Structure 1
């Protein structure tokens, strides 16, 4: 069953829009400021592959933290889609992407492991060099709506196919 909103925008057949994304964490050791329960400050994020704003594609992101955190389900309603916290332990995040209404009505669930300590444990941890763990992926939207296609046609984070010149999509003039 289609929602009424979905029917108002025609779908472009045999067209795919690809959105390269990066999701991951960056963790900083707090050094002298560290306590037993808060040794690191970290940020988890979802962004364009070159740090572009994904707001035209993503409506909100839900980060599911470890249950030991206060309010472990965190909702970020607008870009930048990131969340910062302090803690001492490593754990796996569930990251749920919810798309703009004319993009896709299904959520996309990603998983990412927070790493606080560098691979080469060669002694003391540095406060100057963060631990960064990232994953690259591409979200592909087959047969996109005309409104989605028109909105992201010139967006730097979105890969949109070149349409033939005979293809007439009434785009709003800038």
Structure 2
């Protein structure tokens, strides 16, 4: 069995994490943001889904391509972006789940990873008032890609920039785990409110049905 090359050997007991943000920004169609030429007339928003570094660093040193799987109603719903910026811009009227697959450079020895993002076009929660003024909606999540026992080549790529092994921290950044938890809390509160309204309407419908049956009798 031939020996492994120095670039493909894995470094034992080492893990490196890289911060990443992914999500979408959307803008309501208006006089200042008109519907692009050729877009369906019933589309209400322009939007962009993306994968990026929270500090604006170039991801292409280790990411080969990002594939975005849109709703099947879109032309060519599987969009493969092979150079930065890793993003897709579109128009639409409805929200749906977008599958985001990240492929690493072939010689890095890493398997592709998958994220799932729910496209957000309509505001809710504390951002609603500001969004109603500007027509802009953001749904951006912070995460970390963890490379366990990377190859020597991958290790060199991931550590090429000074300070790259330090934990990501930015007091001024809104792309944090805390922001993600707050977003999840807002979603859970919204779901709870929807459940309460459904329960209330169910009671009202039962009362109306009972009244209908009484009148028929």
Which structure would you say has the larger RCO, counting Cα contacts within 8 Å and 6 or more residues apart? 1
What SS does the aligned partner of 2:108 have?
coil
Residue 164 (structure 1) aligns with: none
Q: 1:130 aligns with which of 127, 136, 148?
A: 136
What SS does the aligned partner of 1:55 have?
helix
> In the superposition, relative to structure 1, how do residues 111 and 31 fare at CA in structure 2: closer, same or farther (>3 Å)?
same
Which entry has the higher C-alpha Rg, 1 or 2? 2
Q: 1 or 2, which has the higher helix percentage?
A: 2
Residue 16 (structure 1) aligns with: 15
CA deviations 1:86-140 (Å, max 9, x no partner) are 1111111000011112334421111001111110566x944x3421101111111
Mapping 1:18-167, distance limit 5 Å? 18-32=17-31, 33-34=34-35, 36-120=41-125, 125-126=132-133, 128-155=134-161, 158-159=164-165
Q: Contact 1:28/1:129 (CA < 8 Å) preserved in 2?
A: yes
Please list every run of 5 or more consecutive structure 1 residues that lacks an aligned counterpart in the other structure. Answer: 162-174
> In the superposition, relative to structure 1, how do residues 28 and 67 fare at CA in structure 2: closer, same or farther (>3 Å)?
same
Give TM-score scaled by structure 1 length: 0.78
Q: Contact 2:17/2:146 (CA < 8 Å) preserved in 1?
A: yes
4+ aligned runs moved over 4 Å, structure 1: none
Q: Contact 2:21/2:140 (CA < 8 Å) preserved in 1?
A: yes
Deviation at 1:148, TM superposition (A): 1.5
Deviation at 1:54, TM superposition (A): 0.8
- Total equivalences in the alignment: 154
What SS does the aligned partner of 1:147 have?
helix
Q: Distance in 2 between matches of 1:49 and 1:108?
A: 18
Please list every run of 5 or more consecutive structure 2 residues that lacks an aligned counterpart in the other structure. Answer: 168-217
Higher mean alpha-carbon deviation, 101-110 vs 38-47, is at: 101-110
Question: How big is the alpha-carbon RMSD for the aligned residues of Structure 1 and Structure 2?
Answer: 2.5
Q: 1 or 2, which has the higher strand percentage?
A: 1
Q: Distance in 2 between matches of 1:157 and 1:95?
A: 28
Give TM-score scaled by structure 2 length: 0.64
